[in-house]
Structure 1
């Protein structure tokens, strides 16, 4: 017999002599561990399949209802078109079957009871109705409507919430579980004779030898899974997937906060109806599309589920190496870039560089760290050198401005590390190759194998600008791009420049795009704005704190970002409405805009005059800007002409923002509304968002626990005055603490936020 069988048959005082195999554990222990891991893997696969099937069933229920609604709007006469006029529908219409839905829902027997309708006509009618229904199924877009929240939509949102909450790790856990099952199953079967003495005795020498080899292999495989933390991953996935369904209100609230994640998960489960594949792939030539789709994409380091078109975009970048992604604003160019960086990190690259305007520097660092496991470093400002040194030492994504790039020598960096990829956001900023920023970008592009340019500006009508950008990436393509290249239209242009350019439009790929997409634009105070902010905090002046970001309009980061958003909207011919609580902020915006805006609509205007201003704004063909004081413009006006909304600062009452945005959401709005909220990091803006997002917890902390607060959720609220006092006090304490830390480090103390005795100023306590 083999060693483990003979050892187990020898007895000494009732104990097995062979407690362990030579060089390893007892076979029974190895198999028990394998059985446990197989069971855990099987549970994850089953639980994930169950969650997916629940989503699919809810989706089909909602889709079928939408299809029925569509069929209910199609007259029965259209059945003639399907049958090339052969079907006589007069009898059907005379019997009250006026829509295709009514015909489709009828049985053949019911139709044959209608005078003038025989078996053949009934069969033809049902076949024609079925053909139309299938066509509608292929085109209907399933949209989750937060304003409707009917049972079918709620069932889908609740089903999706479980997978969204579990995150991409749930899908990865299922894939890992399937791999565990595939690897362990044959080894466990081969190792069966090792489960006990009797099995070993009757197995025969050859099977015992194979069993011993299988046990040894099992032990190594299990050790490998353990090193990869597979048991932990599977256990966590089981916990996530077995959580009880949340309440409908919680699911809908979560959907409103991150609808893109919900649609991303849904798109991974069901085919995205209404999305034309050619449009989702930017009308690339078929041969190139096939190569791109075959490109592997490792999302191990991603924390977000990619939509189909986003995954294609990431694969395009990986396949072509040096390209421009020119997707329309709002399609997730940043997420696609991060997906590429995450893939390269999984394949061994460690250092990456992102170049962007200063106005989106914070957004990039936040997106990288929230959407991936990569670390982001802001190589900018006073901490520039420290951030650069840490990036070089630890790896990750260095985010630098165009001006900052000029001080980052590629040759010096190349001596220390290999940069796996350079991403240039708002790449049209370097269209002038003679500019200093352009020369800095060119120096880096020449040294790095993989380069991605991002721009939301459509290149089809900017051929010379496009030629300039392609010159950086694929100069051999420039002769193919002639001044008249755009004359044949955007699709022909994209096919001609396909090796270097990918662009998709919202209407082509986001058929279910929610009516409102919220974007938080985080900026840093300029020195002048920061000084004004600290002065306002010291004085306990809450309104001055809220508008400190515009204290110095000539150097306001918020105002710069606002002008960029307006400029992007102008490029696309979109109308913009700008809201602020403060008249002086609107005055600063008005002064900064080159084209004279409409308004401001504020409390000084009567209702009739307000509507006249809005009507004049709506009557303009193409781009225009309307300024509104949020208290005045947020109520009673229809501004559905605007599809871009800018909020200059967060509001104390969320309902103010909701009412203002609702002015652009009304019936008649033909575009999705994009809401940009301008925020200053480490300021009253951040405090307000943190507190308002956790109103319940805030009430508990501020007003103490009460049965009313716990039993009546709608009573959990905080007055504007209480919120202002709390935020002022927090900011005074925070800045005072920072000043104390600076003083302890030997630097100048700049508190200005507390009185001489170190306590918050009297204005904060009032």
Structure 2
């Protein structure tokens, strides 16, 4: 943090700019046209709409009659209510709210306490006075332009604008809460993350009024909504990103129309040189050749390798090979939680490809479509006069700027009207088993997308029955696998050898599936143990009470399905921990009492505590999975009482924060002992091979979800034997679920 603060001290001159109104040199200062977000540029100044503006009344006293209006916002005042009293005749003036630089404050980031300067510089007495200064993030400016404001300057502005004082008091309370949370989690409070001052990518460039080059910058780990125009002199340290932007601009001009590419058969005998992330394993090279062969012969396929064998890398290698042959664009659809991992793998293995992540709020997606989707039409016309026929001039397809668009299932449904208009060379769907239901909205939307080739990635092609596999094949090859009913009838007796042989023959051209035990013999083994645990006395009492209370529902032969599910869910929660049903109202007097309470109320927690103490002593690193957010909260309390460092991922964690936590856990010499994960949110697209112990605290209804969770540790990169412990409460609903 200190180095970043020093950097901010150097770069703290850029605040919102103010200009004198040309009509009268004696008028107060008003906001000028500073550099900010895209929508603030190249547009005439508009009056600021103040949400708290009083209708036809003075903003100070609330009375009407003889009001003067601010020329830059919707506030109105009596001349006598202004300080100092307004005594000019011109209608063009700016109210104090618009004049103070601090009204352009977006938020306070930090408070720093300094020693106040001595009034008598010759005095040798120790300084007793302290003064504060505040780190400010300005509206429309990036984090590299944050600056410190002195306590005196802030107080003077707050005398005129009382809301500034309220915002400061609110921040003090927030900071106290952050300190408590930081002490609990062992993390440092960071006012500005270094990523926020690091250029992620450049979207556009222009020259400003004085001829300086400016770039429209997306910052690392920030959304597209927070893009800003930056002077070239402010981002000179990010020369690689500038060169990357220029290379993408120049590449299209040089290569011309992608339509000139012709399909050719291609087989790789060794790892391709255009992959920069490393060398493919032999089975991955086989996967790449399978995908290339299928694409050339127009056969849509499933890559169904077991979890942990690198389906993502094989897919990226395939798309990179198409890029080398000038085929594109490509659409990759994946769970939202895995998009960051996809982006990172593309940057590692195929950095030459222009990969754009398409998700987020409507404002962010608008900016992506404006700057990342297409090259400007007018620039292309100059190019086409030389290199292409006039018939292609107005085709948007020929102006596509990206090579790969990464997006989520939600965006496929939400923005289908936009994405359907693009002709996609290849569609890759990660976790393709999501398409097993033909009635789902995702299936219906993706089926209608204009795609020449399709690839599904799934570690579990069949989860429940063959109908799911038939549905995936129907999505890929609707003509060959058109009637699901006919397929069900044809393979109704799948236990017969002839039926199995026939099914294998049908699927072989469309499905490639390998297992770790066959292709990764050097991968350390994994072993799963089921540990049956007794409920505590209190848990047994509650368990009996739940069954007794719901006896009528349980005894009913017909109906009551929803009620029965609710009863089962209550029983499952109770098996995890007594606090899931009845948590004490009073806070524990001290950490020792808090730990004792947690252990006394759960048989699983008592066993877990004994295991964790041993695992910690032996230097193991642990992943703990649970279905329930509340249970993860209790496990977090437990780890805090034990003063063990940990990370946590659940459905509430954003993609950027999720990747930061994963990186922190996987970092070399990381001190994080444990990772708490929800089974669904933490079971997909994560590499946690630095852990060697997995504890399934409570099992999922779908066993494949637990298999996904186990595969986070038992995968490529694992160097130790992986132990998996599944905790099951003896004589309860959990045993019936197994």
Shorter-normalised TM-score: what interval? 0.3 to 0.5
TM-score by length of 1: 0.33
Which structure has the highest helix share of the two?
1
Which structure has the highest strand share of the two?
2
